[in-house]
């Protein structure tokens, strides 16, 4: 019974507010997508409603995520995570500033060698590195040349020496 009376009183107050106060408030004015008419939402201080840009960040904080004021547990959790992220970034900046150049180089080398990502991508990169090492080892191993290949290699070496000699002569006269 009491809740019904309170509900009716609240509905009456809302109707009165809609009839008396709302018409005096500034409206958004942005075009509605559904029919192109002006938006009828109450405008915020910048002249737009919350749906049409009223909560757009301004000044030096334009790039910082604007989280809603913590009103419930989800908002509190978001605010807590954001605060922890900023604190971690500040701590890392202090740690990096205190490092010697040698420590900083070791830290950056570790960062380069420990790239984050999915396990499948890390496994593929490991496989690629192993394959590249095998190819490099195969290419660097001394090869035994057959008679014709040996003759060709000797001719290549002779031509390279001749080329070096010609370059030295042009450096002297040029």
What residue spans define the domains of the chain?
1-58, 67-122
Q: How buried is residue 28: exposed, middle or buried, by Cβ count under 10 Å (0-12/13-18/19+)?
A: buried
What pLDDT shows up at residue 68?
54
Q: What is the pLDDT of residue 96?
A: 93
Report the alpha-carbon distance of residue 71 to residue 77 in Å, rounded.
10
Please state, in angstroms and as integers, the Cα–Cα distance from residue 2 to each residue in 13, 20, 94, 102, following that order: 17, 27, 60, 75
Q: What is the DSSP-derived secondary structure letter of residue 45?
A: T
Q: Which residues of the chain have pLDDT under 70?
A: 1, 54-59, 61-73, 143-145, 172-174
pLDDT of residue 58: 66
- Residue 60 is predicted with a pLDDT of 72
How far from chain centre, in Å, is Cα 58? 22
User: Residue 161: what pLDDT?
Assistant: 93
- Longest Cα pair distance anywhere in the chain, in angstroms? 113
CA distance 161 to 165: 6
- How confident is the model at residue 88, as a pLDDT? 94
Distance between CA atoms of 40 and 7, rounded to whole angstroms? 26
Q: Residue 20: what pLDDT? A: 83
């Amino acid at each position: 019974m009491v809740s019904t009376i309170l509900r009716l009183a609240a509905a009456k107050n809302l109707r009165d507010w809609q009839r008396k106060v709302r018409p005096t408030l500034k409206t958004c004015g942005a075009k509605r997508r559904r029919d192109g008419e002006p938006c009828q939402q109450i405008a915020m201080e910048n002249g737009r409603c919350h749906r049409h840009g009223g909560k757009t960040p301004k000044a030096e904080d334009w790039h910082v995520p604007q989280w809603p004021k913590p009103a419930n547990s989800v908002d509190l959790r978001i605010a807590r995570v954001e605060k922890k992220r900023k604190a971690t970034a500040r701590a890392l900046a202090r740690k990096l500033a205190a490092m010697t150049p040698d420590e900083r180089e070791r830290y950056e080398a570790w960062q380069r060698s420990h790239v984050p990502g999915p396990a499948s991508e890390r496994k593929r990169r490991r496989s690629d590195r192993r394959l590249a090492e095998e190819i490099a080892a195969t290419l660097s191993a001394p090869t035994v040349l057959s008679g014709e290949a040996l003759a060709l290699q000797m001719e290549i070496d002779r031509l390279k020496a001749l080329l070096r000699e010609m370059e030295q002569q042009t450096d002297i006269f040029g």
